[in-house]
Chain A
Amino acid sequence: MSDDNARNEAPASRRQFLARTGALAAGGLVAARSAAAAQAAPAPVRVIPEVTADAGGRLRPAAAQQTAAVTRYDVATFTEGSDKLTLLRRAVQTMRGRSDSDPTSWMYQANIHNTFCNSPPPPYGVVHYSWRFLAWHRAYLWFFEKVLQDAVGGDTRLTLPYWNWTTELNLPATYFGSTNPLNDPTRQVTPTSKLDPRKTAISGLLALPTFTQFGGNASDAGALETGPHNYVHGWVCGDMCRFSTAARDPIFWAHHANVDRVWYLWNQEGRDNPTDTAWTGQSYPFYDVTQKKNVTISFGDAAQLPVTYAPPLGTSINTGGRKRLNAPVTVQALPAGTELDMAPASAGSLRVVAIDVPEDAPISVNVFSRAGATAQTPTSDPSFVGSFTLIPTDGGHGAHGPVNLHVPLARLAPRMLSAQAAAPLNLTLVPTPTPGNTRIGTVSFDHLELQP
């Protein structure tokens, strides 16, 4: 089906979804749970087959939960020719080829979003601009991911990628191309369009102490939703500009996986989700492909779905080609107003990629967080970040190829890694002799990366 046709059929598809979830009754909409109860095989309230519940109704980390855990990866690792990207495209292509009335079709899944984003049937509330936002979308991703996997024969190597828009400012190139199933021709951005990193910064979000601020409450949207989430939707635009069509664009899923990852990171900081039963007890229906039927899941259970996120790839620092360390080298690590995607409490590192092991003499390299540092700049300088030393190997020429080194950034003030920094972050690598030596080893490196 063409995209144009798909867009024109949204109302009908929404009706189909409600009918399938038992929410559409003769003459009007009624509560899904009530309608489901009237059916011969009502959907169970407990819906997640991979996890078990104890008597208190809480998920417990049983073996089943561990085996069902999902790990999602940076979309930047979905490179051309990779198995992950091939699987993702094949799954989306397969879903796009199915009838709109098929719960495992692309349009049906997209229309679930349409159903609950605007005037959902009672007893459901709108899943945007309140504390419903994060939990509902986590469940939505969970059940959609199962459909994706099912579309490629249940291959669980395929999990949703996340688009780390804090540092990856372009919509991934792998999502463009007229014959690419991940493409959406309605987008108003190109592969070279760039997000404003000051609007996608997350350090301020991760520092928020309460869920009300971060994820909202019954009447307020959280800062994550109205901040980066909405901004990225509006920036991509086209289908993404409207809640009713947003999930038709494949980038929606990578975008929301990243939104979910930010929530995951916020929890990793020790922040608590609501315990109010008015939140934990809210349930919404989804199609569970593993059971081949509609199910419901509560926000309390959705919040505990066993999803983890692999760290994003490092942010590459443009060094303008391979650099020889025979004099101080200064690079701009972060432009003003950008941030490294790392939690405030964590300590990232500077990765020196493919640096030679010297053959002639040892070398120590001091790293300073400013331009202008020299061999005379002491390590007591406030801008001193760390150092590393390389010594020649005994095997002579070619005995050891280039290596990668990590310099912890723990001494770098967190605010220097924050989007609030008004000045760019410059790093200077200063070669110095090791104690007792006058010569400095000859080395060069390929490039630098900031890693969370």
Chain B
Amino acid sequence: MTLVSIVSGAPAAVVALTLGLGCAAAPQPATGALAPCAAEAGGMRIALSGAAPAGARGTVRTAVCRLPQAALARARAASSAVLRVEGVRTPDSPVSVLVFLNDAQAGAAASTSRPSFAGSFTLLGEGPAKVNAQVALGPAVANALRGRGDLSVTLVAVDREDRPVAAGLAFDRVVLDLQ
């Protein structure tokens, strides 16, 4: 499994944060300069960033980090990647979260037609206070890693008509599972 943690989020949906690196429009560092993703469980889990504070909201982008070789090989061959979003707070009305991979431009206006779109999950306006959601990413992770060894995840919260949700959707952290 590979583990991705989203450290921080923006209170508004229009700001895409790259952890500690500024907004999404900031140029990405060269792959070689990237910090390695923190691997766990023999490389099956990778933390793209450190521990996440509760309550990340809106459009959130993880830090870009370099996958260790073993995980990179695994990710490139994976056909069944899953993104697990932990501790999602149940909203008052349906909210979908769009998942984009390696797309610094994905933001509030992003749609599922972007090539970087990898999947989505939805929470209805009812249910337990906090849930752990999963998203099947199919071969999207492998596709996103063609010719590169770094990975970032951008989450965009939208309503049932795909409009950005100003209040966003609070959650604790994100785990990328490549098992």
Q: Which residues of A line the B interface, CB within 8 A?
A: 117-118, 126, 128-129, 188, 196, 198-199, 201, 203-205, 207-210, 213-214, 216, 219-224, 226-227, 230-231, 233-235, 237, 241-244, 336-337, 415, 418-420, 422
B133 in the interface, Cβ–Cβ < 8 Å? Answer: yes
Across the A-B interface, give the 7 residue pairs with the lowest CB-CB distance, nearest first.
Answer: A234-B94, A204-B138, A204-B136, A230-B122, A226-B133, A198-B112, A226-B121
Query: Once the chains bind, are A231 and B96 in contact (CB under 8 Å)?
Result: yes
User: A231–B162 Cα gap in the complex (Å)?
Assistant: 11
Chain A residue with the shortest CB-CB distance to B130: A129
Annotate B16-46 by CB proximity to A: 1 below 8 A, 0 otherwise.
Answer: 0000000000000000000000000000000
The residues of A that contact B134 with a CB separation of less than 8 Å are: 213, 216, 220-223, 226-227
A204-B136, A205-B136, A227-B134 known; 12 new pairs, CB 8 Å cut-off, are: A117-B127, A129-B128, A129-B132, A188-B160, A204-B139, A204-B140, A213-B177, A219-B132, A227-B119, A231-B96, A243-B126, A415-B139
A223 touches B82 (CB 8 A): yes
Tell whether, in the assembled complex, residue A420 and residue B139 are in contact, meaning their CB atoms are under 8 Å apart.
Answer: yes
Q: A219-B132, A226-B133, A420-B138 are in contact. Are A213 and B80 (CB under 8 A)?
A: yes
B residues 85-130 in Cβ contact with A at 8 Å: 93-94, 96, 112-113, 115, 117, 119-128
Q: How many angstroms from the CA of A234 to the CA of B80 in the assembled complex?
A: 25
B residues near A (Cβ < 8 Å) are 79-80, 82, 84, 93-94, 96, 112-113, 115, 117, 119-128, 131-140, 143, 160, 162, 177, 179
Q: Is B122 in contact with A231, judged by CB distance below 8 angstroms? A: yes
**Count of A-B contacts with CB under 8 A?**
127
Within the complex, the shortest CB–CB distance from A160 to chain B, in Å, comes to 22
> Could you tell me the distance between the alpha carbons of A241 and B115 in the complex, rounded to whole angstroms?
29
Q: Does B125 lie within 8 Å of A241, measured CB to CB?
A: yes
Q: Can you offer 13 A-B residue contacts whose CB atoms are under 8 A?
A: A118-B126, A128-B127, A196-B112, A207-B79, A209-B80, A213-B177, A221-B131, A223-B134, A226-B121, A226-B133, A227-B136, A233-B94, A241-B126
The reply to whether B80 and A198 contact each other, CB–CB distance below 8 Å, is no
* A234/B82 in contact, CB under 8 A: no
Whole-angstrom distance from the CB of A242 to the nearest CB of chain B? 5
Q: Tell whether, in the assembled complex, residue A220 and residue B84 are in contact, meaning their CB atoms are under 8 Å apart.
A: yes
Given the contacts A219-B132, A227-B120, A235-B160, A420 and B126 also touching, CB distance less than 8 Å: no
Contact between A199 and B112 (Cβ–Cβ < 8 Å)? Answer: yes
A4 and B171 CA atoms in complex are apart in Å by 35
A118 to B133, CA, bound (A): 17
- Contact B136 A213, beta carbon cutoff 8 Å: yes
B132: chain A residues at CB < 8 Å are 129, 219-221
Q: Known A198-B112, A199-B112; judge A230-B136 contact (CB<8 A).
A: no
Query: Are the CB atoms of B126 and A422 closer together than 8 Å?
Result: no
Inter-chain contact A420/B143, CB cutoff 8 Å? yes
Q: Is B80 in contact with A208, judged by CB distance below 8 angstroms?
A: yes
Looking across the interface, which residue of chain A has its beta carbon closest to that of B162? Answer: A196
- CB B142 to nearest CB in A, in angstroms, measures 10
A213 with B112: CB separation less than 8 A: no
Q: Which residues of B contact A126 (CB under 8 A)?
A: 127-128
Select from chain B the residue with minimum beta-carbon distance to A213: B82
From residue B179, how far is it (CB to closest CB) to chain A in Å?
A: 7
Residues of A within 8 A of B94 (CB): 230, 233-234, 237, 241
Contact A422 B119 (CB under 8 A): no
Question: What CA separation (Å) do A421 and B112 show in the bound complex?
Answer: 12
Complex Cα spacing A337 to B138, Å:
13
Q: How far is the CB of A293 from chain B (nearest CB, A)?
A: 31
Chain A residues with CB under 8 Å of B127's CB are 117-118, 126, 128-129, 243
Q: Is the Cβ of A234 less than 8 Å from the Cβ of B136?
A: no
Q: Which residues of B contact A420 (CB under 8 A)?
A: 138-140, 143
**A214 to B136 alpha-carbon distance, docked (Å):** 8
The answer for the CA separation of A220 and B125 in the assembled complex, in Å, is 18
Residues in chain B near residue A204, CB distance under 8 A? 80, 119, 136-140
